[in-house]
Structure 1
């Protein structure tokens, strides 16, 4: 297993609207535990699209983990050219800092956004180039991540593909650990 795809809930799906929301620390703690485990199992590349929320937090976590695991690399692969160019200045600045943490930045489509097929092709590309996925996602609480979750379930029917979920229970257990 060389490549791990990470995705999950967006900030707005979690009701997170500030950088200092305590939920972020809980999510990052869970991400750190799972990503460390994957790295110890041989993962070399962490791949994400740098969407707001889970994907950007994962890049930040992996950047921190590079102190302990200096050989791990981060790839940010966007679905299309100029991804995020229509975001507000603050969000574009955050995306720029995420790109600087990456060892590799590319887009699957070398055109600006045209239609939803680019998103579907992007998802297929990522899943074809990874052997496992880590999702901050709970099927009981659907969000945009449901589409990648369903694609992974279909992929598992024809090919071995590891999927780990950080679900609501794990997040809640991790948040209550903070108080003991």
Structure 2
């Protein structure tokens, strides 16, 4: 599971209203994946969509106790430059994950570690759920490129959540509010 970094979405605090929409949309898609047989969800712990996806996976364990979360960071001390609120989320997700490990057992040295992470995660997973809109490029495109390379030689489904899916999720959330239907 991957997607935009928080800063790429203009989210700079944990009380941003868009986070609840992102979580709601992730939960819907993740439920569908579990119903189709997914039992492991894997993130690298990147600040933003990946941590919200990890948090959502952990919340879904109440409903689906058999699902598992793995956090495979690209390098040691990944969160050292995260904003404080994001560091807290990172630590909470890491502490409750079923499996954690750094892919490169070194501190950050070079962008090759990020490319290595993308390729490693694509190689070790059966598919990808990503929050990404190709009309709004960002860091997830590197994951997408690795996924497309893998798809040349094998089946590797990529399920994208785009801005239209997020708009639909926002409307669904509003309509679930009992006050929504009593407004004139």
Q: Would the TM-score normalized by the shorter structure come out above 0.5?
A: yes
Greater RCO, 1 or 2 (C-alpha within 8 Å, sep 6+)? 1
User: Which protein is bigger by CA-based radius of gyration?
Assistant: 2
Q: How does 1:123-162 map to 2 (within 5 A)?
A: 123-162=118-157
Report the Cα distance in structure 2 between the residues aligned to 1:22 and 1:88, rounded to whole angstroms. 18
Shift of 1:88: 4.6
Structure 1 length-normalised TM: 0.92
Q: For structure 1, which runs of at least 5 residues remain unmatched after alignment?
A: 1-5
**Which digits, 9 at most, give the CA deviation of each residue in 1:37-78, with x for residues without a partner?**
111111121100111111011111111110111011100000
Q: For structure 2, which runs of at least 5 residues remain unmatched after alignment?
A: 176-184
Structure 2 length-normalised TM: 0.90
Residue of structure 1 aligned with 2:10, choices 3, 15, 20: 15
3-state DSSP of counterpart to 1:98: helix
Shift of 1:89: 4.2
For the aligned residues, what is the CA RMSD? 1.3
Residue of structure 2 aligned with 1:114, choices 109, 114, 118: 109
Shift of 1:179: 3.0
Shift of 1:108: 0.7
Residue of structure 2 aligned with 1:31, choices 26, 33, 36: 26
Residues 59, 101 of structure 1: 8 Å contact kept: no
Q: How does 1:35-50 map to 2 (within 5 A)?
A: 35-50=30-45
Q: How does 1:159-174 map to 2 (within 5 A)?
A: 159-174=154-169
